[in-house]
Amino acid sequence: MNPNLDLSKAKYHDIVNENYDYAVLPWGATEPHNYHLPYMTDCYLAYHISIDAVEKAFSDNEIKGMVLPYVPFGAQNPGQLDYPFCLHTSYQTQFSILRDIVASLDRQGINKLFIVNGHGGNSFKSMIRDLAVDYPDFIIILIDWFAVEPQEPYFDIKDDHAGEQETSVLMYYRPDLVDLSVAGEGKRIPFKSASLNAGVGWTPRNWKRVSPDTGTANPKKSSAEKGERYAKAVVAKIAKLFAEVVKDGIYQ
Ligand SMILES: [Zn+2]
């Protein structure tokens, strides 16, 4: 029987005689996703992708990872934060959560952590650099699951937030939580500055100024079939990464 790889279901009895090679931390956000997706969309997507990738890495390569409970606290843009129940966590709060998880795992002898991020507004690189100073033997690898595989071959309309990519993948994993019949168009209103639109400079978009329905890409052509094809391609790449890092390390 497979070892238990999901901490939201595991009992101590399941794991007491197992040795785990690595841990996976899904990290999402709590925010509106157009009218048709749940607030916790980024958490559910990161969680399901993590579970599938850890199970595939075990079945393909017999390496054992544990998926930790997802963190639902994301960094939010202005405007979005004004909507009810949208929850913003500061850099310091997110860093404290990550640091405490690393400290816990480190004392338990688990020194490889993969963050599977589901929210575009989260940015962990500075935190990971800071933790590398304090924990030089602890490897943290960041994966933005939504950017692992190009969207073009799978979807008709490129996603930005709550569009075809996120909607399709959630329709695959959790069809009970998606109501496409109430979706808005996800119309994205660009900046006035063409240079900002072209990426010459960056500033967080005020969500109330860029979207009437909180979505910023059209989800109408979403389907569970598209989501399944895409999720499986993403999972295969992430499972391969797990295996390479765990079995061979990261340096020559
Ligand atoms: Zn999202």
Question: How confident is the model over 36-51, as pLDDT tens digits?
Answer: 999 999 999 999 999 9
pLDDT at 69: 98
pLDDT at 1: 63
User: Does the structure show a pLDDT above 90 at 83?
Assistant: yes
pLDDT at 37: 98
User: Does the structure show a pLDDT above 90 at 248?
Assistant: yes
Q: What is the pLDDT of residues 55-71, one digit of tens each?
A: 999 999 999 999 999 99
Q: What is the pLDDT of residues 206-236, one digit of tens each?
A: 999 999 999 999 999 999 999 999 999 999 9
CA of 149 to the centre of ligand 1 (A): 16
CA of 159 to the centre of ligand 1 (A): 10
Burial of residue 186, with CB atoms counted within 10 A of its CB: 0-12 exposed, 13-18 middle, 19 or more buried: buried
CA of 193 to the centre of ligand 1 (A): 25
CA of 107 to the centre of ligand 1 (A): 33
Q: Which of 32, 186, 51 lies closest to 119 in space, CA to CA? A: 32
CA of 192 to the centre of ligand 1 (A): 25
CA of 173 to the centre of ligand 1 (A): 14
Q: What is the mean pLDDT of the chain?
A: 97
pLDDT-based confidence at residue 3 (cuts at 50, 70, 90) = confident
Token pair 């929850």: residue: 87
What's the CA gap between 75 and 1, in Å, rounded? 39
User: Does the structure show a pLDDT above 90 at 90?
Assistant: yes
CA of 102 to the centre of ligand 1 (A): 25
Q: What is the mean pLDDT of residues 73-88?
A: 97
CA of 69 to the centre of ligand 1 (A): 18
CA of 199 to the centre of ligand 1 (A): 21
Q: Where are the beta strands (DSSP E) in 72-206?
A: 112-117, 139-144
CA of 206 to the centre of ligand 1 (A): 16
Q: What is the mean pLDDT of residues 181-200?
A: 97
CA of 14 to the centre of ligand 1 (A): 32
Q: Which amino acid is at 248?
A: D
Whether the pTM exceeds 0.95: the reply is: yes
Q: Are the beta carbons of 64 and 19 closer than 8 angstroms?
A: yes
Q: Which amino acid is at 153?
A: P
CA of 229 to the centre of ligand 1 (A): 19
pLDDT-based confidence at residue 194 (cuts at 50, 70, 90) = very high
User: Does the structure show a pLDDT above 80 at 86?
Assistant: yes
CA of 44 to the centre of ligand 1 (A): 10
CA of 194 to the centre of ligand 1 (A): 25
Q: Beta strands 139-144 and 65-67: pairing type?
A: unpaired
What's the CA gap between 114 and 142, in Å, rounded? 6
